[in-house]
Each structure stands twice: as C-alpha cells, then as structure tokens.
Amino acid sequence: MNGMEEQKLISVIIPVYNTAKYLDKCIVSVIKQTYKSLEIILIDDGSNDGSSEICDNYAENYTHIKAIHTKNRGSSAARNIGLQYVSGEYISFIDSDDYVSEDFYESMMLHMLPDIDLVSCGMDTMYPDGKIMRQFTPNHILIVNGDEIVNELLKTTYINFSMCNKIFRRKCIGDIRFPIGKNHEDIPVMYEIAKKCSKVVCINAAKYFYSVRLGSNSRKPFNKGNLYLAISTMNIYMDVKKHFPQYKNSALNRHFEYVLYLIDLINHSRTNKYEMVKEKLEKEIRHYTIQILCNDEMDLNLKARLLESGWRSKVSIIRQWNENADKYLMSTKLFNQWLEKKQNGRRIEEYFKKNHFYEIAIYGMSYLGQRLNDELKNSSVTVKYVIDKNAKDTAADVRIITPQDIMEPVDVIVVSATYYFDEIKKLLNGKIECKIVSFDDNVFDQYQLELISPVHEKHVLYNHEDHFHYWSSNTSLR
C-alpha cells in the first residue's frame, strides 16, 4: 500500500461494558494505527463505571469514532448492534480491555489480497502477574485453503476461535450473528465464518494483546452458561461429521478439550451444586470412550485425563474397564489396521459367509458399527438395518431403527457396542428369532486367529506410534 487512497476502510467494533480502567489504552491503540482508513464503533453496553462518558468523549473529538449506547445485554448483543453500523469492506473486533500494536492493521492488510477472506495474527496473553504467553503465531506466513481452514480452526494451532486477532472480509460475515446471552459466543460464529472462507493467511507475528483480568467473562468461575461451550462444540462435531467427515477426529478432540475444561472449572468451584452437571459431562466421556481411544488427533495425555475424568466415579466399572482395556484397544486398532492394509487379501465378510450369515443387522452405530457397515458395502453380505437407541440423531446410508421398533428377520445381529453386550442381548431376546453375537467375542476373535503366526505364536498389533507390539500367546485377550 503506497498511499492513503489505496487503503480500504476497516470497521472496528469495540463492545464496552464497565472497562473504564482499560478503555483509554484500548481506544488509543486503535487511534494510533499506522493504517489510517478506519472507522471505530464503540458500543456501550449499559456501563455504569464511567465507560459511557469515555466513549462519548472520543466520539466528540474524533470524526471517525461513533459511540452507541444500549441497555446491558452482553457482548454478543453489542457486537450485533455494531454490525448494523459498519460501512467498511473489512471488519475487525477488539475487546475493550485489550489493546493492539500500532501496526496491527497494516501488518495484516499487507496480506489481504483479492482472493483472501481472512487474515489472522498471533496473540500475546498478558497475565496479572506479568507473565506473557505467545499463541497462534506460526514461524512463517501460513496460507490455508478450502476445507482445510475448518481443520486448522478445529486444531487451533494458528487459527483460533477468537474474533479479535483477525480482519474479516465483510462478505464472509454476511448475516451471521452472535448468539445472545451465551458464553463463549465466538466459537459457533468463527466456525460458520471459516466454512465460508476460501483462503486464509496467518502472519508470523503477535500483534494482539489479550489482557487476563479477574472478573472478565473468560475468567469467571463455572456457571450454567458455560455449558454452551460443550453444546456448541458438540453441534460443530455433528456438522463436521456431515460436511467434513475427514476432520471429525479434530472436531471430537476440540469438543472434549472443552468438556475437560468445564469439568476442571466445576472441580475448582467452591460449591457442590454443579455435581449433576459434572456427572452429565463425565457420562458423555464414557459414551465416547472408544472414539476417544481411537482419535489419532488427540494427545495421549488428554486421552488419559479424559478417561480418568469420565470413569473416576465408577470404581467397579473402572476395574472392569482395566481388565478389558487391552481387548478394546486391540480390537479397534487391529480392525483399523486391517481395514487399511487388507492383510493377505482377507475380508471380514468371510466370517459371515463361513457361518451362513448373508443378511445381518448391526446394533450400535458408533465407531465399530460404522466401520463394519462401511466394510460390508459391495460385499455378498447385506446389512439390512442398524439398531441404535439414538436413531433420530444418527446419520447412515442404511435404515436405522430403535430397539423398540419391529425388526425384520435377519440371519444374525452383530452388537458393535460390545461393552454392553449382555445387556443388549437380554433386551433383544424375544423381540427377534436369530443369533446375536458380539463383535469382539465372535466376529473379531475368529478374524484375529487368522493373524496368529504358527511359527512365533504372537498376536501382532499396531500401537499408536506405528511400531509393532507383540502380545505373547498366553496373554489373555478377553
């Protein structure tokens, strides 16, 4: 950019609520920008600490600053009001207790080429004790294209969910608005924007300074409003499964990182009134145990913390889980390896053909159920339907019924939810006349016999580091 006439207008939205102590520093950091084509929109969200007067003072003295006053309805409502007043081709958000470097906009606009929809910079988190943590700052300029933008957002390495360290092309925000009255409102909005972007640039410099202070929304103790974090990230996971299935592990990882964060918040609360909420979060972890274990995007330490949180209150179940953990890990990992490598050309359908099972049903459409259904496509074995108690919320290319529905005759029902096999078998007995088998104990056990070496008598298993791990032939797999 060689001259002022080439600079495109950026609309800067700053929601303000009782931040008089920090507000001058924030506004001055924007006024002093080396990039001059800015309009600053201050949305006073019903402040009562003098912030309103500070906003009016700047609006009276600077022609490119507007001050808008509204009833206190929260940051989301204030940002939505600000979006009604923007006239720039680009939009930026800054929190009123943060500040930016004087070249914040210039450094990012240098990369806002005609085919770029969003430019992001790194962020320095400033703690009250003087500590500084630098985040989301790549070693070099990073360009992300297409669907990979969603994956990078979910991984949150360089593209994070904050709206504040970015410049958005206005058309990418469009009619997207912030959910009013919700905590962590940036998350669903950033996800929807990422889906609309075709190319994103992350610059290799931290230009936004996020101030951690006591009493800010992001530092308050747990309240029920925080649950929107779990709800919104689960909604994102379901949407990713549908539209970006190749990134579903990243979405599940992101969701459970936030679930663990919420459990930690509850654990540090000085009250027991959220124990029921905590139990629901832990129950969700237990429900997704297999997916967590098989999620290659998830750090091993996080897996361990999740499983510890999810199962800590169930001592008897923990003992049972410890006894069977090797078996579950082996089944899912070896099944994955087999699907990918197709060792010796063997296919799982051989088990069904050998036992004269040509029309089958699968009970449970979680990880193993989905993989089994996928593998039997285009084979001589027909999956007539899937039984799942969450049929309404389950997506599949085969008919899905609940355990209460009428079941058509099949040769066998394969229970993929193996942990609850006895309970499920008892539920199905009397509802349908056919054989009911557990995927682990029947289908998979016969398959794994094919992988035993007659010379070394070892079971071969790929571990998470893709090194071979050997189980001696006298090790119990049950």
What was the pLDDT predicted at 441?
Answer: 55
According to the 3-state scheme, what is the secondary structure of 273-326? CCHHHHHHHHHHHHHCHHHHHCCCCCCHHHHHHHHHHHHCCCHHHHHHHHHHHH
d(CA 461, CA 320): 22
What was the pLDDT predicted at 455?
Answer: 32
Among 227, 243, 257, 75, smallest CA distance to 156 is for 257
Inside any domain, residue 60: yes
Residues 122 and 248 placed together within one structural domain of the fold = no
d(CA 396, CA 21): 54
Residues 50 and 164 placed together within one structural domain of the fold = yes
What was the pLDDT predicted at 471?
Answer: 25
Share of the chain above pLDDT 70, in %: 80
How many C-beta neighbours within 10 Å does residue 62 have?
A: 12
Residues 151 and 58 placed together within one structural domain of the fold = yes
Residues 186 and 274 placed together within one structural domain of the fold = no
Which among 218, 247, 276 is the end of a domain? 218
Inside any domain, residue 92: yes
Write out the residue range of the structural domain in which residue 410 sits.
339-472
Inside any domain, residue 437: yes
**pLDDT one-digit tens code per residue, 32-87:** 999 999 999 999 999 999 999 999 999 999 999 999 999 999 999 999 999 999 99
Residues 210 and 233 placed together within one structural domain of the fold = no
How high does pLDDT run on average in the chain?
Answer: 83
Read off the CATH number of the domain in which 363 is found.
3.40.50.720
Q: How far apart are the first and last CA of the chain?
A: 68
Inside any domain, residue 128: yes
Residue position matching structure tokens 């049972």: 320
Read off the CATH number of the domain in which 45 is found.
3.90.550.10
What is the value of pTM for the model shown? Answer: 0.67
Residues 144 and 255 placed together within one structural domain of the fold = no
Among 267, 266, 268, 262, smallest CA distance to 285 is for 262
- Look at 456 and 444; give whichever has higher pLDDT: 444
Q: How confident is the model at residue 469 (pLDDT cuts 50, 70, 90)?
A: very low
Residues 197 and 60 placed together within one structural domain of the fold = yes
**pLDDT one-digit tens code per residue, 286-323:** 888 878 877 777 877 788 888 777 766 554 444 545 55
What was the pLDDT predicted at 394?
Answer: 65
d(CA 205, CA 105): 12
Residues 157 and 298 placed together within one structural domain of the fold = no
What was the pLDDT predicted at 337?
Answer: 54
Residues 267 and 349 placed together within one structural domain of the fold = no
**pLDDT one-digit tens code per residue, 330-343:** 555 555 555 554 54
Pairing mode, strands 99-100 and 199-211: antiparallel
Pairing mode, strands 412-415 and 400-401: unpaired
Q: How many domains does the structure of the chain reveal?
A: 3
Q: How confident is the model at residue 5 (pLDDT cuts 50, 70, 90)?
A: very low
Q: Which residue(s) pair with 256 in the sheet?
A: none
Q: Which of 132-136, 435-439, 463-467 has the lowest mean pLDDT?
A: 463-467
Which among 185, 218, 251 is the end of a domain? 218
Residues 388 and 360 placed together within one structural domain of the fold = yes
Residues 238 and 199 placed together within one structural domain of the fold = no
Residues 307 and 362 placed together within one structural domain of the fold = no
Q: Is the pLDDT of residue 139 over 60?
A: yes
